[in-house]
Structure 1
Amino acid sequence: MTHVHPAAAPSAKPRQESKSPYVLLFIILIVAAIGTWVVPAGVFDKETRDGITFAVSGSLHAVEQSGARPLDIFVAVAKGLQTSAPIIFLILFTGGALAVLESTGAIHQVLKGIARSSRLNDFSIILIFALVFGVLGTTGVVVNAVIAFVPIGMLVARSVGLNPMFGVSLVYLTCAAGFNTAITNPATTGLTQRLAQLPLFSGMGLRGITSALFVVVCIVFLTLYARRCRRNGEQRPVIPVEDATDVPATWRHWIILAFASVTLISFIYGAMTAQWGEIEMTAMFLFMAVGSGLLGRLSASDIANRFIGGCSGILQGALIVGMARAISIVLEHGNILDSIVGYLSELIAPLHPAMAAVGMHISAALMHFAISSGSGESTLLIPIYVPIGDMVGLTRQVTVQAVLLGEGIVNCVSPTSGILMGVLAVGGIPFGRWLKFVAPLIAVWAAICIITLVIGVEMNWGPF
């Protein structure tokens, strides 16, 4: 069986393969543990309003130092795996389901059609993915679940003769372009505006323009990368029109693909109407695997074996999520996250409104390296930053946008993001190589963030 996970194939460079992202994350974990002994411990008083617990501005106070001991580091890894179980199983079941689906031959026929088609050029493919995943990202329908679609992007890239980096980016970056400027995402924009006492999804005008700019820049970036790959010799595979060894697409293949599509669409509908998440999507992929296998006339044992084989091929990308979560656990238990927030808020308070907005954006970005959860960071920062913004003359809409944009772009470069590290592991892409690749895009996105924040300050972006 052919797996969709390139990393599962034998490596010609075992020395390079050993330098896995686990090593980088473990080094960061040790640094975080050392920080719990060096950074003064402190916590904000917490209060609960409308079922949401958040920090009380000005209440930071010192507490007893709670440094992480060597054993605590390994306990944090175990807890990270435990708390990340829904995402981990989603990744595993994604690999299993796609392995079964691919073994039916249905995907092969469709991707071969894409490779043959002269109408679907590189730009058309990028545009389709950007529109679909940009919308799914900005509405919050596909967030953690983006990992489930990455192997599909890689299959498409392979079918047109492009490398895994392009395939991963085709799904992850287009989704991030929408998610980073979430227009109607209740878990990020909705929650953050609620904490700032703003009307739900208010300020959609400037936020929508920012989101459109992110998506357009992403399309241009991927188009230029695809052209560079073509110049470097990555060409579409030449597939003869008549191939004696080729099995033409049958009605059964189309039924299998229709079944898989309906399954994914059903999850999207459930996510929008019933708040489905990772657990439900994991179940949908298991359902897809069994249904596709039966429609493809595979035996029960063959379905099970291919499913398990697909899971094993993607195991590295699954377990790395728990390692990334362990870093946040160490910082939280060490009681130093609140202290860091307190220091940053003191630096921002005396600044000019425009500079304060940019300062909030930068500090929120820095904090997101430690707090991988956007909603968790908002509940910590917004109660602190809103009073500061009020004092320096920022509208609350600007304060909210500064925090949201800071959280957003860091997701694409943070080694503590379990989703990013999982995506890279699925694609077999080293973290250092990813940083070099995505740096120009992040630089342009960061410039857009700063420009739109300054515009928001100058236009007194509201309603308040």
Structure 2
Amino acid sequence: MPDTYVMLFLVLLVAVVATYVTPAGMFEREVVDGVERVVPNTYSSVESNPAGIMDIFLALQSGMVQSGSLIFLVLFAGGAFEVIERTGAIRGGMLSVINKTKGKELLLIVIVSILFSLGGAVGAVANSVIPFVAIGMIIARALRLDALIAVAITFGATFAGFNVGFLNPYTVGVAQSIAGLPLFSGMGFRIIAFIAIVGVTIIYTCRYAKKVMADPSKSLIGILDDAEDSKESLDSAFTLRHKILLSFVGLALLFFVYATVQFKWGIDHMAAFFIVIGLVSGVIAGMHYNKIAVVFLEGCQKLVYGALIIGVARAVLIVMEDARILDTFVNALAVPLESLSPVFAALGMFVANGVLNFLVPSGSGQAMIAMPILSPLADMIGVTRQVAVQAFQFGDGFTNSIFPTSGTLMASLAVAGVSWVKWAKWMLPLLVMWCIISVAMLVTGVLIGWGPF
């Protein structure tokens, strides 16, 4: 498959061509409660402004500038989480849980899955789950299970939490910012979805584990050889300092949630707050000040690829906005969806985002493309923007767990030595259950008029 940047550049070129063949038009807009909204049934034709060759590259530059707040949010979050991970606190905490639950196989699977799902829900573990798959292999080997379990309790659990992302700055944070919603609003309803999706994931994983424990021949790929145990060790100190550090990070994230409600903190505040989290975490861990700086910047560097995707995706929209054809596409989507009930329109958004994720497997990049279209579309078809954000989040999150265009998935499978075909066979029934839950949540969201609360 072409690289994500190549795919987005091709989309940008398609958008440029579209400026010459698509009629220009615009909706009237009004400001409601501080948020600009489209006024339904006000679309009218306007003079076209096709893009030139230089406009392609100017759009890339403008996209980076206009997306600066979101790009630096992603970079600074990466820096903070890198400092936390480099202290050994996360690994130490995980291995401490593993050691304390020896002999309680299913309890171990449940606890490890919950920890990774929480990491995915808050954005602490996503692409960085790849090296943790090796820990999953140690656990699976010790329990006389197979490598599918290793991937399930690490990567699978992480993205079960990521599917909802109730405190994830890379997806929900970016999408809500674009949609004009208070940062991390609607968290209570998302936590319900998180509990349902993670609960089903854990039950599904435990049932498979019990079946393999009872009869190893039931494994889809064969159990791991425990002769390799000598090569790995579960010894890793979980010190008082580690406990203080992780407690600080947890309290800091809770404080930020409070601040978004009480002080109306937004994206810029969160980006700045991640700098604070990174610095204080380094101090608690006893890092030298030079090392804190270097590690923080190394964390930023790891996410440059994902962060700049936001700017490239924004460039596509800049071309369409400058040519005045973005509203034309919104209107074209609205016409067939207006004949549907809001419930089916919301489900259509969910499916569309799932398809889009095959081409743009970056959550933040997809948010930049999808949400400027979904937000006005939601206004027109009677769906709240909060529901539109979650339709995007489900569409993006679910397909990350099975589409081979997901680099994190393919790398995790490579670490465990699991073929994509075997993983897809194991994952498909769980994906169907996820979809059933998501449909129920989206339908409920539409029916209760789920808004920014």
| TM-score after normalising by structure 1 | 0.65
- 1:82-93 to 2 correspondence within 5 Å? 82-93=65-76
- Give, in angstroms, the shift of residue 43 of structure 1: 1.2
Which residue in the other structure is 2:271 paired with? 282
1:150 partnered with 2:133 = no
Which one of the candidate residues 48, 51, 60 is aligned to 1:65? Answer: 48
1:122 partnered with 2:118 = no
SS in 1 for 2:50: coil
1:159 partnered with 2:135 = yes
- Give, in angstroms, the shift of residue 39 of structure 1: 2.2
* CA–CA distance in structure 1, aligned partners of residues 134 and 66 of structure 2: 34
Which one of the candidate residues 61, 66, 76 is aligned to 2:59? Answer: 76
State the AA in 1 paired with 2:44. Answer: H
Which one of the candidate residues 380, 387, 391 is aligned to 1:384? Answer: 380
- 1:90-239 to 2 correspondence within 5 Å? 90-116=73-99, 117-118=101-102, 119=104, 120-130=107-117, 132=118, 146=123, 148-150=124-126, 153-154=129-130, 156-161=132-137, 167=154, 169-177=156-164, 214-219=197-202, 231=222, 233=224, 238=229
1:33 partnered with 2:16 = yes
* CA–CA distance in structure 2, aligned partners of residues 81 and 304 of structure 1: 24
Residue correspondences, number: 396
Cα 1:329/1:403, change in 2 over 3 Å: same
* CA–CA distance in structure 1, aligned partners of residues 224 and 69 of structure 2: 40
Kept in 2, the 8 Å contact 1:317–1:425? The answer is no
Kept in 1, the 8 Å contact 2:379–2:385? The answer is no
State the AA in 2 paired with 1:334. Answer: A
* CA–CA distance in structure 2, aligned partners of residues 53 and 306 of structure 1: 40
Which residue in the other structure is 1:412 paired with? 397
* CA–CA distance in structure 1, aligned partners of residues 267 and 410 of structure 2: 20
- Give, in angstroms, the shift of residue 95 of structure 1: 3.3
* CA–CA distance in structure 1, aligned partners of residues 56 and 45 of structure 2: 23
* CA–CA distance in structure 1, aligned partners of residues 50 and 227 of structure 2: 55
* CA–CA distance in structure 2, aligned partners of residues 411 and 337 of structure 1: 22
* CA–CA distance in structure 2, aligned partners of residues 52 and 294 of structure 1: 40
Cα 1:260/1:158, change in 2 over 3 Å: farther
Which residue in the other structure is 2:246 paired with? 257
Q: Identity of aligned pairs, percent? A: 27
Kept in 2, the 8 Å contact 1:100–1:306? The answer is yes
Which one of the candidate residues 315, 318, 321 is aligned to 2:310? Answer: 321
- Give, in angstroms, the shift of residue 234 of structure 1: 9.6
1:358 partnered with 2:341 = no
Can you list the C-alpha shifts for 1:395-424, whole angstroms capped at 9, x where unaligned? xxx788985664443333799xxxx9xx96
Can you list the C-alpha shifts for 1:430-455, whole angstroms capped at 9, x where unaligned? 9xx89x96877665555556678889
- Give, in angstroms, the shift of residue 251 of structure 1: 3.2
* CA–CA distance in structure 1, aligned partners of residues 398 and 233 of structure 2: 45
SS in 1 for 2:298: helix
Kept in 2, the 8 Å contact 1:93–1:285? The answer is yes
1:47 partnered with 2:59 = no
* CA–CA distance in structure 2, aligned partners of residues 331 and 38 of structure 1: 12
State the AA in 2 paired with 1:410. Answer: G
447-456 vs 78-87, which moves further: 447-456
Which residue in the other structure is 2:289 paired with? 300
* CA–CA distance in structure 1, aligned partners of residues 3 and 352 of structure 2: 24
Kept in 2, the 8 Å contact 1:114–1:159? The answer is no
* CA–CA distance in structure 2, aligned partners of residues 225 and 21 of structure 1: 34
Kept in 1, the 8 Å contact 2:371–2:389? The answer is no
Can you list the C-alpha shifts for 1:154-195, whole angstroms capped at 9, x where unaligned? 565443337789645533442423669xxx99x96xx8999x
* CA–CA distance in structure 1, aligned partners of residues 247 and 194 of structure 2: 31
- Give, in angstroms, the shift of residue 101 of structure 1: 3.2
Can you list the C-alpha shifts for 1:236-260, whole angstroms capped at 9, x where unaligned? 98479999xx674443333333333
* CA–CA distance in structure 1, aligned partners of residues 125 and 24 of structure 2: 41
